[in-house]
Amino acid sequence: MQPEAPSHRQFFGDRERAFSLPPELIAELERITGAGIGGLCRRLFAGDFHHREIIETIRLGLIGGGENPEPAAALIAAYAAARPLAETYPLAVAILETAWFGQSEEQANG
């Protein structure tokens, strides 16, 4: 049995939600963005990104956190796609940091 991917919990939309990028969703993020996860993380952590990378990271993070794909897309449309980057960028970075470094002690002790 594969260990569960680490998750990040944060308020998004109307309540606190879990965000996670297990290996199969990392592969999907790479496919959608056309970038390897290492390059994508390096660029996003440096603030060099495309809007779609932010949106897809959050959408796939929702799915990895347990949300069904259709509601995840609706949440993105309502709470991320047209929102200021100052709101969505930190969440995308937190999702990728959790995938890269694992769950922080604060998140683990929630």
Sorted by sequence, the CB contacts under 8 Å of residue 24 that are 6+ apart come out as none
| Token pair recorded at residue 83 | 């929102």
Sorted by sequence, the CB contacts under 8 Å of residue 84 that are 6+ apart come out as none
* Strand runs labelled E in 32-106: none
Cα gap 5→34, rounded to integer Å: 22
Q: What is the pLDDT of residues 11-45, one digit of tens each?
A: 999 999 999 999 999 999 999 999 999 999 999 99
Enumerate the β-bridge partners of residue 7: 20
pTM exceeds 0.75 for this model: yes
Q: What is the pLDDT of residues 78-109, one digit of tens each?
A: 999 999 999 999 999 999 999 999 976 665 55
Residue 59 contacts residue 91 (beta carbons within 8 Å): no
Cα gap 32→17, rounded to integer Å: 23
Domain layout of the chain by residue ranges: 17-100
List Cα–Cα distances, 90 to 4, 52, 85, in angstroms.
Answer: 23, 14, 8
